[in-house]
Structures are given as C-alpha cells and as structure tokens.
A and B are shown apart, each in its own frame.
Chain A
C-alpha cells in the first residue's frame, strides 16, 4: 500500500537489486547524471524529466511503467480536474 501523499513512486531500488545489485554510482554513470540525483529520485525527492525517466527504463531494459507508477487518487490536480468535469457533466 502506497502512502496517500505519494503521487509518483519508483522501483529503482528494486530494479538495481535485480540488476546484480547495481550501485547508485553505476546507474548514475549509465544515465549521465550525478549519484546525488539518483539518490534524490530513489527517495522520491526529485522527479526526473521524461528523457531521464526513459533513459533509466532503458538502462534496466524495462518499460517506463515498471520504473515509475502514478497514483491519480493522490494527485490534487487530478482530483480538481475530475470534480470540474463531473460538475460540467451535471450541467
């Protein structure tokens, strides 16, 4: 079960483990970023650009959806838009 505050989660730690316990530095070198950026992404403190997200997925040879997961029910913007559309539908 994911925390209600989490909008986007990632599986990078698990994917690193299944990639022969790849280190954060190795992943950083393979994706062209610093180790600190990998740490920030893993901890959910930084959301990468689409380009870097695809590069991460490509490094692990998996689909993007296996690296990142989106929880619309936790996204306030999504909720707001949904409410707006529901109101419009009723009118």
Chain B
C-alpha cells in the first residue's frame, strides 16, 4: 500500500472520529438537556463554526502522529513531493466530493421546501459534508490503485 493510500485511510479515520465525538459531545451536553435547541438557528450556527476548526486541528494532529508512527515503523520519511499525478487525483476526488455535497445541499433545501423542520436541513448539510469528505478519500484510494 502506497503512502498516499495510507494517508487517505488515516484521514477517513480522523473524519469518523471527529464527527462521531463531536456529535456525541453536542448531543450529550446541549441537545439532551434542551431539545428545543434543535430548531435554534444560533445553536446550529455555533455548532458549524466550532466544528470546522476542531476538525482541521484534529486532522493535523492525526496526520502528524501518523507521520511519526510511519517513520518509526517503516524507517521512511513521508515524501513532501506532490507531482502531476497527485494533483490529477486530488482534482478528480475533489470533483466527486463537490457533486456529493451539491446533492446534499439540494436535499437540504428540498427538506425546507417540503416544510420539514430546520434541524433536518442542518443535519442533511452536516451529513453531506461528512459523506463528501469520506467519498473524496475513498476516491483517492481507488484512483491511486488504478493508476490515476
């Protein structure tokens, strides 16, 4: 397995951990105490705004830990070269995640149009962002295995 594939797997694990723990934290500390928050736009705004930096920091920490662990186990440094194939694969995987997020956005707006509660729209948005990020990493693994 190539280094990029390993990094994608680590990134998937990181995303699952972040969204899992963050959802659990928000549910236990806020939603469980006051279910009315589900329809509070300010609550969702804050949740989104806190999630983004938390996700970025956790991903950076996980990638650093992976680089250290990889160095210890394989005695190889992680290459800092990004060549034309890496860029092509990155673009292709971003395109996939973009389409998935766009579909999720449409679904979220559809839920509002059909008169569903606002929290359905916010949950759909978060879920589509999460699925789009997973799909991007899975696509990378597939493209790296296929060649490009």
Contact = CB atoms under 8 A, between A and B. Distances in A.
B90 interface: no
Contacts of B4: 36
Contact of A43 (B79, B85, B147): B147
Nearest to B81: A34
A46 B147 contact: yes
Of residues B85, B144, B148, which shows the largest number of chain A Cβ atoms within 10 Å of its Cβ? B85
B83 A46 contact: no
Nearest to A47: B148
Interface string B135-146: 000000000101
A10 to B, nearest CB: 13
Interface residues of A, number: 13
A59 B146 CA distance: 26
A45 B86 contact: no
Interface residues of B, number: 13
Interface string A21-45: 0000000000011101100100101
A49 interface: yes
A32 B146 contact: no
B84 A49 contact: yes
Nearest to A40: B147
B36 interface: no
A48 interface: yes
Interface string B1-22: 0111000000000000000000
A49 B84 CA distance: 8
A52 B84 CA distance: 9
B98 to A, nearest CB: 23
Of residues A32, A37, A49, A51, which shows the largest number of chain B Cβ atoms within 10 Å of its Cβ? A37
A33 B148 contact: no
A36 B144 contact: yes
Closest 7 A-B residue pairs measured CB to CB?
A: A45-B147, A33-B83, A46-B147, A40-B147, A46-B148, A37-B85, A36-B2
